[in-house]
Structure formats: C-alpha cells, structure tokens
Amino acid sequence: MADDPQRNFRSAYYEKVGFRGVEEKKSLEIVLKDNPLDVEKLSTFSQRFPLPSMYRIHVWKVLLGILPPHSDSHALVSRCRIQQFEDISDALTAMRFVHASTPPTELYLRMYQLENQQLPRRSELRPPNDEDMIFLAIARAMEEIVDDPVDCYWLVRCFVNQFQHKFGDSIPHLPKSLEHFLSQEDGVLLTHLKACGALDSLPYRLWFRRCFAGCLPESSLQRVWDKVISGSCKILVFVAVEILLSYKIMLMGMSHPEAVYNFLSHMPQENTDAIVTKAIDLWHKHCGTPMHSV
C-alpha cells in the first residue's frame, strides 16, 4: 500500500507535540488515577506511545523511583526530596566545595559524589574524569528539560543510577547491535563505513554512554529518554542507525574516519524530530513492542 502523505504528516506532527491521539492521552490519564500506580503499566504505556509533555516529568519521577507508587504520599515524599536537596547543598557549601556562583550542573555532580561517597578531598580536586563528564552532559540536557532544580537533580541522579545498574553490562554490546541492524537496513552504507575504517570510530560514547545528551536537542532527546527510562536501552541503537541512514549521502562521500566522527559528533539539528520518529518506528519494527528489553 502506498504511503498516505497526509497521514504521515499528521503522525509526525502528533509525535512532535507529544502524543499521537486523544485516546492515548486519555488512557494515560486513567493509568495515573490508579492508587497505587501500576509502574509496570506506566512503563508499558511509555514504551508503546509517546508521553504527552504535560505528564512526562511526573511519569519519569515515578518510573525512576523518585516518587512512590502510592499517590497519596507524593506530597510528603516531595517535601522530603526538597529537604534532602537543601541539606546536601548546605553541607557542600559549608565544606567550601560549592558557592553562590557554582553552576547548577557542577552542584549536582558534587551532590551526587557526596551521596555516593565519591567526593574527593578539596586538596585532591582534579578536572572532571570520563564518568563525571557523562554525568555533566546528562545534567546539562536535563536542565533544559526541567525547570525546577530539585526535580532536575533527582531526575539526573536516578537516571544515571538506573542506566548504570540496569544497562551497564549491555552498553559494550550496543555497537555490535548497531552493525547488525544497519546490515539489515542498508548493507551498502555499512560496507562503506567498514571499508573506510569509520565503523569502529563512530561517536559511540556520545550516543550510548551519554544517551545522546549533547547530540540531540532536548525536544528530541526527551522522547528517546522516555524509552530508556521505561526499560529499554536498545532504542539508542535505532536512533544511531537512523542518524546514519538520514545522512547516508554525506557519509558515503567521506573517506576518513575522523571526518565521519566529527560530522556525527556535531550533526545538524534541523531534522532531529523526524530522525527520532523514524528511529522509534524502526525500534518497533525490529523489536515489536519491547518490554524492559535491552
């Protein structure tokens, strides 16, 4: 059956604004009225459909364990989260690790280090290491999505922890998954990337360790994070595949790995919504409707 241009336009528009249809929005509203909230059902919804932007942060907080399933305790838990944020921030100020002009993302990093017993001595402070840079990249992206600094810290903290604990063992295998799915979608492009030596030097750290933070604009990034937070890191592979497919013509004209790496690390931002939409479709095509899959 030939594609319906009007239907494709409508689907892309609904994806961009946060939902495909009114019925899906109503379905989520029904799920959010449960007490206790069914976390499994919320996760399934997030994997099957795009989250409406008006509910996204609340759903993330539940899926990441920042808020408990019992809705009637959300107000109390939120007050406790605020108090804990202030206590840790005050402690760091007293120890002179942060001050009034410290950037929020650096404050979040020091708070995270203190809570995880990784805070170095002031006399041993060094430039951020690789793990710190990953945290800071995710924090900067989250800062663009979330206005409240308390919510921002808890979301970054729990997102990083969940990603490391749930998917840490899977991350090294994602480049091989990318190669597998790219071979099914476009063998010619894969052959070219192998022949010029670019396949082994794609920006995997930016894509897979940082979850595209600093690569995609936040309007597109949060739709990818919906899927990661709801239980699948394989969506990252399909976003990477779709990026390669979308820029095939340019990549086919490059013969040096450095040129490929530099282009993909600073790719254009104009059509990222369309790339993410196609990546999600590709994810469903190859994985069905994944349930907490890696």
User: What residue segments make up the domains of the chain, in order of their start?
Assistant: 1-55, 64-167, 168-294
Look at the domain 1-55 and name its fold.
Arc Repressor Mutant, subunit A (1.10.10)
With contact defined as beta carbons under 8 Å apart, do 227 and 235 qualify? Answer: yes
| DSSP one-letter string for 86-154 | HHHHHHHHHTTS--TTS-HHHHHHHHHHHHTT-PPPGGG--S--HHHHHHHHHHHHHHHH---HHHHHH
Rounded to two decimals, the pTM is 0.89
| CATH architecture, range 168-294 | Orthogonal Bundle (1.10)
pLDDT, the chain, mean = 90
User: What is the per-residue pLDDT for 279?
Assistant: 97
| DSSP one-letter string for 16-54 | HHT-S-HHHHHHHHHHHT-SS--HHHHHHHHHHSPPPHH
Tell me what percent of the residues of the chain surpass a pLDDT of 70. 90
Please count the CA atoms within 13 angstroms of the CA of 38 that sit on its side-chain side. Answer: 12
Confidence band of 21 (pLDDT split at 50, 70, 90) = low
Q: Which two structure tokens, joined as six digits, stand for 170?
A: 């899977």
Q: Which CATH number describes the domain made up of 64-167?
A: 1.10.8.680
pLDDT tens readout for residues 128-180: 999 999 999 999 999 999 999 999 999 999 999 999 999 999 999 999 999 99
pLDDT tens readout for residues 73-102: 999 999 999 999 999 999 999 999 999 999
pLDDT tens readout for residues 208-256: 999 999 999 999 999 999 999 999 999 999 999 999 999 999 999 999 9
